[in-house]
Chain A
Amino acid sequence: MTTQAIRLFRKMDGLFAVYKPQGVHWKHVRDSIESSLLKALNSCPPPAPQLAVQFQLLSSGENSSSKDLVLSPSMLPTLADHPLVTGPQFHKVHVGVGHRLDAFSSGVLVLGVGKRNGVLEHLCKSHVTRDYTLEGEFGKATDNFTDTGRVLEKTTYDHVTQDKLERVLAMIQGANQKALITYSQVDLRTQEAYELAVKGLLYPHGKSPPILTGLRCINFNPPHFTLEVQCVNETQKYLRKLIHEVGLELRTSAVCSGVRRTRDGPFKVENALTRQHWTADSIIQAIAHFRKTTRKIRKSGMYRQTAGQLSTDVQEQTRSQTGHSEQINELHVELSNPTSDTVVDRETPVTVTEGNTKH
């Protein structure tokens, strides 16, 4: 017998994105979403209580004059099924978190509810990149690379121009491209590897340090500047350190005043839920919106598992790696529809030869 509560619970199954505000630990976000889902579930009417035969002293019906009370049986609801005795119907909703965001950063945080939490694992292992917007400020250096830390040194920044900044960014991007090619374990002298690189489908295999696949400067008003970064395997602390290193390369110092994640794989900031919308209805709507993306991630995860089993017998290391990447390349070509939700990051600047990015 499905009650309203059970029907609502079955709808809470899928992935959705939330905009995490700055200064809040990701665990608090997860807890507040879980408690709002539980609140909606427990506000549904409870199932009807069981009836039991009880003997009550009632006055014998017909003659109202006679005052003798007679023990008569009647079916009454048992108090053992009363909601104040049984407690709330739902105690826990499984809410999982995808790529975590530390307290200083804000941005898109992917959460999973119910059985689809397993898909989060596939998302983490899949070849998705993340988009960040980094705000920086020239002139000082602190101990934790943010503008709220203890100031260690102050420098001048008048000599910094946009041209110099672009040059430094191009150099960093070149180094990262080299690292990408090395860690993707692909021999660039082969034709297949060249085609992969041209399409931008190179991806680091196994454990790798954070690699930036794309980097450009959006805004430059000294002392403030804004960078846009697409990266893989990163932590937010690494990105703040990146700002510090940019400052060092420019013979000055810089701190990071904001890290904002604008995209996590196919989950973009336009569809992320702000704090007012952390209620059960909006979450269920968002889950329905991302249903197709979730299915794609799940299918690609299952495919990758079987592909991994198939390619264990191959002897040569490089051949197995390119074969592996070819299969996944085919999968990506299948998955990349002309819609905006793609698992592959399309905005990677094609920089096999040159480092200059023009936008």
Chain B
Amino acid sequence: MHVCQRCVSFLLSRTLSAALQQSTRALHQRSHLMLLRHSTRQPLVHTLSQRHSRETWRHFTDHQAASPDVHNKIDLAQKEVVPLNSDVHRISSQVSLSDSQSIDLDAVVRPSPLQEISEEEAVQIQVPSALPPESSTLRPYVDKSETLSKLVQLGVNLWELEQRPNVGSMLVRLDFHADVAPRLLFLKDLGVEESKLGRLLTKNPFILTESLDNLEARVAYLKSKKFSKQSVAAMVSKAPYLLNFSVERLDNRLGFFQKQLGLSAEKTRDVVTRLPRLLCASLEPIKENLKVCELEFGFRGNEIQHIVTTVPKVLTTNKRKLTQIFDFVHNTMDVPHSLIAKFPQILNAKFLRIRERHLFLEYLGRAQYQPSQPNYISLDRLVFLPDDVFCSEVALATLEDFEKFQKTL
């Protein structure tokens, strides 16, 4: 990932003073060449030795190579040193031949810092910026850029964002006062807590480039559908991409859920507030999951409604995993549909956990899942208790026994 040069030029133009602001790319090359030419005007200078000149040059370029992966630019400049040094040698040899005198090395002609120079020369002095024009990380720019340092202080994970293509360039290009601040204030007005802003921006940096009118229109639409202020804030925190979707798409989704599930408006709002990802994701997997529940599993309509209102995540889980869990619970553990619909959290649990615990209970003779009979174990206690509590209360065995049993599976 490269932070592109044009973006960095925006940065440079803001950090350098207005007097030095001229071209963007030529700035560097010209400055290097200017200083070199200054040095080659005096052939008797200590730049006679190649090594010395290269050292001064390296000192110069070290200043620039703040990041580890600097582009070829620096290499190009170093290659220029070699032919220029040969010029120096030629000039020096010419001078020595023409003068035919002993060269007095003490009489070094060097521009003194206190020497007065003309106005034109003063204007032509370019101070090169310490920022590299291209970089694959945001590290060299963070201290110099107001936007980036404020984002880091908010808690935005810049490292994660720079792995995504083009996001780094976009962030460097942003202006804090014009772009970022109004949107942050908008989110704060919406009710999003400041501690959650960092995570939100890390997941969705494109909220900073979405126009404010669109954002406000979408929030107005959600409020018109009678979502309360706190629920809108909660939805935006949980699903950071929510406000990047158009009003038509949100409308389409809400309509789909209300029609397909056959729920009242109140319940649809509740489901969507708890899992706002439903409004962002595509509808095809959700439709497939619903079909699987109806046809493969054989749940009735009202059972599906109850499952979705209790555990909305069932709509977005992997179809294969859902089938595996249901197959085990219904066929191997012999739990009827009604009981599964009563405890739909079991469809959300890890399959290996259900399998190991059930087989342990079966080995002990305590696998009793019918509520009508004694020693009944409810499905949510089977799955959601931590291991030690499960062993002591449900299985009435020690944790070591459970581990030994796991190793026999």
Contacts and interface: CB of A to CB of B under 8 A. Distances in A.
A80 B407 CA distance: 48
A82 interface: yes
Contacts of B352: 21, 23-24, 275
Majority SS at the chain A contact face: mixed
B108 interface: no
Contacts of A275: 352, 406
A80 B409 CA distance: 50
A272 B138 contact: no
Contacts of A276: 387, 403
Given A21-B352, A24-B352, A106-B409, A84 B152 contact: yes
Q: Which of A23, A24, A274 gathers the greatest number of chain B CB atoms within 10 Å?
A: A274
A21 B407 CA distance: 8
Q: Which of A19, A24, A78, A87 gathers the greatest number of chain B CB atoms within 10 Å?
A: A87
A43 interface: no
B142 A274 contact: no
Q: Which of B142, B148, B155 gathers the greatest number of chain A CB atoms within 10 Å?
A: B142
Interface stretch (B156-164, B268-276, B298-306): B156-164
A85 interface: yes
B407 A272 contact: yes
Size category of the binding interface on chain B: 20 to 34
A260 B405 CA distance: 13
Given A24-B352, A84-B158, A79 B409 contact: no
A198 interface: no
A86 interface: yes
B139 to A, nearest CB: 5
A87 B407 contact: no
A84 B158 CA distance: 6
Contacts of B356: 21
B407 A274 contact: yes
A63 to B, nearest CB: 30
Interface string B52-69: 000000000000000000
Contacts of A84: 152, 155-159
Contacts of A87: 159-160
Given A79-B142, A80-B143, A275-B352, A85 B158 contact: yes
Interface of B: 138-140, 142-143, 148-149, 152, 155-160, 351-352, 356, 387, 403, 406-409
17 contacts: A19-B406, A21-B356, A21-B409, A52-B143, A79-B142, A79-B149, A79-B152, A80-B139, A80-B140, A80-B142, A84-B155, A85-B142, A85-B152, A85-B159, A88-B159, A274-B406, A274-B407
